[in-house]
Structure 1
Amino acid sequence: MPNQRDEAADDSPADLPCLEKLDSPTGSPPTVSLSSRMELENCVSNLNLAHEIVLNKDFCFKPRSPPTDSLEGRVTEMVHRAFWDSLREQLNNNPPNYSHAVILLQEVKTILQSLLLPAHVRLRSQLDEVLDMELIQQEVDHGALDLHRLAGYIISTMASLCAPVRDPAVRALRDLRDPVELLREIFHVLGLMKADMVNFTIQSLRPHLVQQAVQYERAKFQQILDKQPASLDDTTAWLQAAASEEASAATARSDSPSPDSPTAVLNRAYMSLLHWDVHSQKYPETVLMDRARLDALGQRLQMLVLEASVLLLTNAQCGGAVFSLQGFVGKLRQSVTVLLEGSHTREADLKGALLGLGETVLQLVTQAVSGHDGASLPQEKQDLLKGQISELWKHNNPVRTLIGERVQSFLQAMLQGGPAKRSPELPTPLRLVSAELAELGNAFGQIVHFNRTVFGPFYAPILRKLLFPPGEAESGEDSRQAEGEPDNLR
C-alpha cells in the first residue's frame, strides 16, 4: 500500500460545503417526509464527496478527533477514559473478567478482515484460526486466555498490512506491557490504518471517477433539483446580474450593441465570484461546492493586486535603477507578502498593514541605495511614497483600480481563449508577479471549465430566457458552450 499524506483534508461534514439548508424554520411544520429528507441529504453528501475527490488532488480522509479544548473534545475524553477505566477494573479482578476484552478482540478481528485484500487468502485463514472467537471464549471460561500472545499476533498482522508511514507506530506497540494501554493504542493505530486503506482506494479509483464525474454530478444535481425545485433560484439571480453588467459594458463599447453572448455572460458571472461579498448568503447553488476554493483564489488575487500596486508605486518614485539592484525586488516582495498576510478580512487591518508596509519599503529603499553609494531618496519623495502606499486600502484608489483592471483583463483573456490569447504585454509590476498570476489563472480556469461542463445544461435555459426574445435562437457556438460543451480552456 502506498504511503499516505499526513496533511490530509479532514473528513468532518463541516469541511464539505452543503448545497441546501435542509432544516425547516423553527416552528414550521415539516413539508417532506423524514425518508425524503434523508434521501436528499444523502444525495447532497454524495455529490459533495465526489466533487471533492475529483477536483482536490490532495483530498483524503483521516480519523476525526475534536479539539481537546472544545466541549465535544472534553466529553469524548471523559467517555473514553470511563470506558478504559472500566476495562482496567475488569482485568484487575480476581479472577479477571474478560467479557469486554473479548468484545474488543472481536472488533479488532473485524477491522483486520476489512483491511485484507482478495489476494490475502492465507492471511485471512490464519486470522480466522488465531482469533477464533469460540476458542477464545473457551479459554476465558477455563482461565487460560493469554492476552499478550493474541496482542503479539495482532501487532504482527498489523505490521504486514500497514502503510510504511505507520511502521513506527506499530513498532511502538511492542513496547507496551499494560494490557489496557496496549488495546487502546491498537485501536488508535487501526483507525489510522483504516483511513490509509480508504485513501488508497480513493487514489486507485480516482482516474475512473474523473471519467464519470461529469455525468455523475449532473445526475445527482438533477435529483436534488427534482426534490427542491428552488435550487436554481440563486443561480438565476447570479446569471441575471452578470447579464445586466455585460449589457451595460456592451453599451459603453458601442452605440448599437449586439445581443449579449452566453459565453461572455458566463465568463463575467464567474469573474464576479472572485470578488464575492463573503457575508452574502445568495451564492449560486451550482458553484457552492467550490466556494471555499474560489474565496481563497479571490483573497490571493487581492493580495497580488496590492503587491503589484506597491511595486508600481515604488518603481515610480525610486526609478528603475533601484529595482535593478540585486536582491532588492525579492526582499521587497517578501516584505509585502509578510506584512499584508491576513489583512484582507477587515478594512482596519489593511489600513494598519499598509502603514507599516510604507515604513518598511522606505527602509529597504534606503538600505539598497546606501549599499551601492547611490543618492538617498529626497524627503518629499519618501513622504509621497509612504502616503501613496497607505492610500491603497481604498477600493477606488486609482493605482489599485488600474492594476485590478489589468489583472481582470488577464484572467478574462484566459477564460476566453487560454494561454495563446492572453492579454497584451503586462506592465512591469504585473510581470514581476506573472508566475503567481498565471498559477492563479490556471486554478481558476480549471474550476470554471469543470463547472461549465457539469452544469451547462442547467445554465442554458436560464441564459435563453435572459438573453433571447421568445422564438429567437442563439448562435450555435454560444448555445453549445452554454450547455457545457468543453472548450479549449484547460
Structure 2
Amino acid sequence: MLFPLNYNGATNNEQTVVEMPNQREEAADDSPADLPSLDQLHSPTGSPPTASLSSLMELEHCVSNLSLAHEIVVNRDFCFKPKSPPTDSLEGRVTEIVHRAFWDSLQEQLSSDPPNYSHAVVLLQEVKTMLQSLLLPGHVRLRSQLDEVLDMELIQQEVDHGALDLHRLAGYLVNTMASLCAPVRDPEVRALRDLTDPVQILREIFRVLGLMKTDMVNFTIQSLRPHLLQQAVHYERAKFQQILDQQPDSLDYTTAWLQAAVAEEASSITAGSESHSPDIRGPVSATAVLNRAYMRLLHWDPQDQKYPKTVLMDRGRLDALGQRLQVLVLEASVLLHANAQCGASVFSLQGFVGKLRQSVAALLEGSHTREADLKSALLGLGEKVLQQVAEAVSSQGGAALPRDRLDLLRGQISELWKHNNPVRTLIGERVQGFLQVMLQGGSAKRSPDLPAALGPVSAELAELGTAFGRIVDFNRTVFGPFYAPILRKLLFPPGETGEDSR
C-alpha cells in the first residue's frame, strides 16, 4: 500500500528527524537548506582512484555530524523546520499526487459498504507511535492511557465486529495532542475539533503531529545547548581529526591561508620599522599572524575556492559579516564627506544623521558585490544626500549651500566606488584596526575606542566586531592544536621553538 509523505501524512519513518545527529541520511534530508557543511573532500594525491564505499560513507557521516553539531553550538537561532518541497517543483507535484491518491483511497475504503478499515487501522498505529515519541519520562499515566485507548488488538476486534468508532478515537487523539503541544500550536489543535470528515481529521492530525515533532526537536536542541557548549570543543576537534586521518590533504588550504598571513604580517613589520634585516621571521608573532589570517576571511574572493577547511563551517557567517563590513565602510565614507561639506550646523541637527544613514543603507543594499551596481547606486545616493541636505537647511531657515560645494559633495560620493579612493581606504584601515584590536583582547575584552570618523556607525560596527570575535575565539580554541605546528614551521627555522598559536 502507499503511505503519505512528509507532514500531510507522516509515517513512522519520519520519526528519525529526532535522531538526526547520529544518522547520516536524516541529517542530510531534514536539515535546513542553508546549513553549512564542509566542502566535498576529494581523495588525496597519490591515493587509489577508487576508495572503499564504507570509508567514504564513514567520512560523509563524520562531516555531516561535525557540521550539524557546529551549527547548533554557534548559531543561537538554529532550528529545524518541516521540509516541504516547492509546489511548482517536480518533487512538489509528485508529492501532491501521491498524497491525493493515498487519501482518496482511504476515503473510498471508509465510504464502502461495509467500511474497510484496513488502512485506517495502520494509520492509527502510526499516530500512536508518533504520540509516544512526544511523551516524556514523567508521562506515566498518559502513556498507560494511550496504550489502553489505542490497544491495537482491541481496535482490530472492533473492526471485525463493525463496531469501530473513528470519531471517538479522533476526539481522544485531539485531546491528547492538546495536552502535549506547545502553546504556539494551540490554534491548530483547536481547529481539529471543528472537523467532521474522518479522512480530513486523520490527515490534519498527521500534519499537526509533524509540527509538534519539530517543536520537540527544537526544544531538545535548546535544552541541550548549554551541555553541548561544554563538549563542543573536544567533539569538533576529534571529528576533524577523523577527517584528517582519512584525508591527509585537508590542511593544505589552511596552510596556504596561514602562509599568506605570515607574509602580510612580515611585510607590515618591515614597513613599520627602520630595520631591514633579511631575516624577519623572528619578530613575527604567531597570534598576530592568526589574527591577520582571520581578518583576510572578511575579504575573501568568492571565486577563490581554496577556503581553509578549518573555517569552512563558518564561511557563510564570515561572508555575511564581510559584506556588512563593506557597506559600513561606504556608509561611514559618505557621512564623512557630508559632514565635511555641510558643516556641523547641518550635521548636528536632530535626526539628520539617522535619516541620512537610512537613505545610505537603503540605496547601497546589495550594490557592493558588483562594481557597475555600486557606481549606479552611488550616483543616485549623491542626489539623495543633496536633497536631504537642502531640506535640512531649509527647515532651519538657513541659506542654501553654494552650488560648488554641492557639486563637490556629489562628485566625492560618486568616486567612492574606487577601491583606492583615499577616504574609503582611510575608513577601511580604521575599521580593520578596530577589529584587530578587538581580536587581540580575546572574547572577554571591552570594545576599543572608535575613531571619530566611525562614530555614526559605532553601534553596528561594535555588534559586527562582537560577532566576528565570537566566531574567531571558538575557531581558535577548537583548531589551535592544528594551527600550532603549521605556524611553527612557517615562523621558526628547524631546531627553534616557537610560541603556540593559542
TM-score by length of 2: 0.90
Cα distance change of structure 1 residues 201 and 295 upon mapping to structure 2, 3 Å threshold? same
Which stretch of structure 1 is more off in the superposition, 440-449 or 340-349?
340-349
What's the secondary structure of 2:310's corresponding residue? helix
Task: Give the distance between the partners of 1:231 and 1:30, measured in 2 at CA.
Answer: 18
Q: Does 1:351 align with 2:344?
A: no
Q: Give 3-state SS (helix, strand or coil) of 1:118's partner.
A: coil
- Which residue of 158, 181, 206 corresponds with 1:187? 206
Corresponding residue for residue 88 of structure 2 = 69
Give, in whole Å, the separation in 2 of the partners of 1:13 and 1:424.
39
Residue in 1 aligned with 2:191?
Answer: 172
| 2:411 is aligned with 1:387 | yes
Report deviation, 1:14.
3.5
3-state SS of the aligned residue for 2:85?
A: coil
Aligned residue in 2 for 1:291: 315
Q: Specify the SS of the correspondent of 1:461.
A: helix
AA aligned to 1:163 is A
Within 2, Cα distance between the matches of 1:303 and 1:438? 14
User: Given residue 387 of structure 1, which amino acid in structure 2 is its aligned partner?
Assistant: G
Paired residues of 1:242 and 1:268 also in contact (CA < 8 A): yes
State how far apart, in whole Å, the 2-side matches of 1:207 and 1:57 are: 11
Instruction: Read off the aligned partner of 2:319 and give its amino acid letter.
Output: D
Aligned letter for 2:246?
K
Q: Distance in 1 between matches of 2:450 and 2:348?
A: 20
* Shift of residue 69, structure 1, vs aligned partner: 2.2
Unmatched runs of 5 consecutive residues or more in structure 1: 1-9, 485-490
Shift of 1:357: 0.8
> Residues of 1 paired with 2:58 and 2:122: CA distance?
33
2:263 matched to which residue of 1? Answer: 244
Unaligned runs of 5+ in 2: 1-28
State the alpha-carbon separation in 1 of the partners of residues 77 and 164 from structure 2: 45
Output one character per residue of 1:84-129: Cα deviation in whole Å (capped at 9) or x when no partner: 2222222222222211111111110000001001111110010001
The equivalent of 1:342 in structure 2 is 366
Counterpart Cα distance in 2 of 1:307 and 1:213: 37
SS of alignment partner, residue 397 of structure 2: coil
- Does 1:454 find its partner at 2:478? yes
Cα distance in structure 2, aligned partners of 1:190 and 1:420: 46
State the Cα distance separating 1:18 from its structure 2 match.
2.3
Please say if 1:426 is aligned against 2:445: no
Select 2:288's aligned residue among 257, 264, 272: 264
Output one character per residue of 1:223-279: Cα deviation in whole Å (capped at 9) or x when no partner. Answer: 111111111111111111111111111111122444311111100000001111122
| Shift in Å, 1:457 | 0.4
Aligned to 2:348: 324
Match of 2:108 among 75, 89, 93: 89
Does the CA contact (< 8 Å) of 1:307 and 1:337 recur in 2?
yes
**Which residues in structure 2 correspond to 1:451-490 (within 5 Å)?**
451-474=475-498, 478-479=499-500, 482=501, 484=502
Cα distance in 2, alignment partners of residues 181 and 279 from structure 1: 51
Tell which deviates more after alignment, 205-214 or 93-102.
Answer: 93-102
Q: Residues 192-211 of structure 1: matches in 2 within 5 Å?
A: 192-211=211-230
C-alpha distance in 1 between matches for 2:366 and 2:89: 25
* Distance (whole Å) between structure 2 residues aligned to residue 65 and residue 367 of structure 1: 50
Question: What is the aligned partner in structure 2 of residue 235 from structure 1?
Answer: 254
Q: How far apart are residue 425 of structure 1 and its match?
A: 4.9
Q: 1:118 to 1:318 in 2, by over 3 A?
A: same
Q: Following the alignment from structure 2 to structure 1, what is the Cα–Cα distance between the partners of residues 232 and 43?
A: 31
In 2: Cα distance, 1:291 partner to 1:43 partner: 19
Letter in 1 for 2:381: L
The answer on whether the counterparts of 1:20 and 1:231 sit within 8 Å (CA) in structure 2 is no
Q: Is the alpha carbon distance of 1:433 and 1:120 closer, same or farther for their aligned partners in structure 2, counting shifts above 3 Å?
A: same
Report the Cα distance in structure 1 between the residues aligned to 2:481 and 2:249, rounded to whole angstroms: 16
* C-alpha deviation, 1:205, in angstroms: 1.2
For the Cα contact (< 8 Å) 1:60–1:199, is it kept in 2?
yes
* Corresponding residue to 1:33 among 39, 48, 52: 52
Q: Residue type matched to 1:389 in 2?
A: I
The 10-residue stretch of structure 1 (61-70 or 194-203) with the greater mean CA deviation from structure 2? 61-70
Q: CA deviation at 1:147?
A: 1.0
Instruction: Note the C-alpha offset of 1:341.
Output: 1.3
Shift of 1:139: 1.4
Q: 2:131 aligns with which of 112, 119, 127?
A: 112
- Equivalent residue number for residue 387 of structure 2: 363
Q: Deviations over 1:308-333 (max 9, x none)?
A: 00000101111111111111111101
Separation (CA, whole Å) in 2 of partners of 1:452 and 1:247? 21
CA drift at 1:29: 8.3
Change (3 A) 1:114 1:424: closer
CA distance in 2, matches of 1:432, 1:13: 36
Shift of 1:31: 2.4
> Which position in structure 2 is the counterpart of 1:313?
337
Question: Alpha-carbon deviations, 1:201-240, whole Å to 9, x = none?
Answer: 1111111110111001100110111111111111111111
Residues 424 and 126 (structure 1), Cα distance of their counterparts in 2 relative to 1, 3 Å cut: closer
**Aligned pair in 2 of structure 1 residues 382, 153: CA closer, same or farther (>3 Å)?**
same
Aligned residue among 400, 406, 410 for 1:376: 400
Q: Which secondary structure state, in structure 2, belongs to the residue aligned with residue 348 of structure 1?
A: helix
Work out the CA distance in 1 between the residues paired with 2:448 and 2:429.
Answer: 11
Contact 1:409 1:423 in 2 (8 A): no
Report the CA distance between 1:350 and its aligned residue: 1.4
1:176–1:182: 8 Å Cα contact kept in structure 2?
yes
Between 267-276 and 256-265, the greater mean CA deviation after superposition: 256-265
What RMSD in Å do the two structures reach over aligned CA positions? 1.9
In the TM superposition, residue 12 of structure 1 has moved relative to its aligned partner by 2.9
SS of residue in 2 equivalent to 1:158: helix
**Structure 1 residues 81 and 345 mapped into 2: Cα distance closer, same or farther (>3 Å)?**
farther
For 2:102 and 2:368, the matched residues in 1 are separated by 46
Quote the Cα distance in structure 2 between the aligned partners of 1:86 and 1:353.
58
Q: Is the 8 A contact 1:22 1:37 kept in 2?
A: no
For this pair of structures, how many residues does the alignment match? 466
Give % identity. 80
2:245 is equivalent to residue 223 of structure 1: no
Per the TM alignment, residue 13 of structure 1 is displaced from its structure 2 partner at its CA by: 5.5
More moved, 207-216 vs 389-398: 389-398
Change in Cα spacing, 1:123 to 1:421, as seen in structure 2 (3 Å) is closer
The aligned counterpart of 1:408 is: 432
Assess if the C-alpha contact under 8 Å between 1:234 and 1:284 holds in 2. Answer: yes
Q: Aligned equivalents of 1:134 and 1:96: distance in 2?
A: 18
Q: 1:109 to 1:271 in 2, by over 3 A?
A: same
Q: Aligned letter for 2:68?
A: L
| Partner-residue secondary structure (3-state), 1:275 | coil
Mapped partners of 1:117, 1:12: distance in 2: 24
